[in-house]
Amino acid sequence: MRVAVIGSGSWGTALAMLAGQIGHQVRLWAFEAEVVATIRATRENSLFLPGFRIPDTVVPSHALSEVLTDAEIVMLVMPSHVCRSLLTEIVPHAHERMIFVSATKGLEADTHLRMDEVIRAVMKDHFEPRLVVLSGPSFAAEVARGDPTAVVAASEMEEDRLLVQESFSSGAFRIYTSPDVIGVGIGGSVKNVMAIAAGVVAGLGWGYNTAAALITRGVAEMTRLAVAAGGRPESMAGLAGMGDLVLTCMGALSRNRRVGVELGKGRRLEDILAETNTVAEGVNTTRATRGLGQKLGIELPITEGVYDMLYERKSPRAAAAELMLRPLRDER
pLDDT for 33 equals 94
- The one-letter code for the residue type at 239 is L
Q: Which residues, 6+ apart, have CB-to-CB distance to 311 below 8 Å? A: 286, 287
The H helix count followed by the E strand count for the chain is 15, 8
pLDDT for 119 equals 97
Distance CA 10, CA 279 (A): 10
pLDDT for 54 equals 98
pLDDT for 281 equals 86
DSSP structure string for 129-165: -EEEEEESS--HHHHHHT--EEEEEE-SSHHHHHHHH
Domain ranges of the chain: 2-179, 185-324
pLDDT for 102 equals 98
Distance CA 58, CA 64 (A): 15
pLDDT for 275 equals 86
Pick the CATH number of 185-324 from 1.10.1040.10, 1.20.140.10, 1.20.20.10, 3.90.650.10: 1.10.1040.10
Q: Phi and psi for 58 in degrees, rounded to 5?
A: -100, 115
Tens place of pLDDT for every residue, the chain, 332 residues? Answer: 999 999 999 999 999 999 999 999 999 999 999 999 999 999 999 999 999 999 999 999 999 999 999 999 999 999 999 999 999 999 999 999 999 999 999 999 999 999 999 999 999 999 999 999 999 999 999 999 999 999 999 999 999 999 999 999 999 999 999 999 999 999 999 999 999 999 999 999 999 999 999 999 999 999 999 999 999 999 999 999 999 999 999 999 999 999 999 999 999 999 998 887 777 788 999 999 999 999 999 999 999 999 999 999 999 999 999 999 999 999 88
Contacts made by residues 309-315, CB under 8 angstroms, sequence distance 24+: 309/196, 309/200, 309/263, 310/196, 310/263, 310/269, 310/283, 310/286, 311/286, 311/287
Selected catalytic residue, list 124, 191, 295, 314: 191
pLDDT for 276 equals 77
Sheet holding 58-61, edge to edge: 58-61, 25-29, 2-6, 73-76, 99-102, 130-135, 149-154, 173-178
In 3-state terms, the chain is what percent helix, strand and coil (to 5)?
55, 15, 30
Residue 138 CA, chain-centre distance (Å), reads: 9
Domain 2-179 CATH assignment equals 3.40.50.720: yes
Whether residue 314 lies in the annotated active site: no
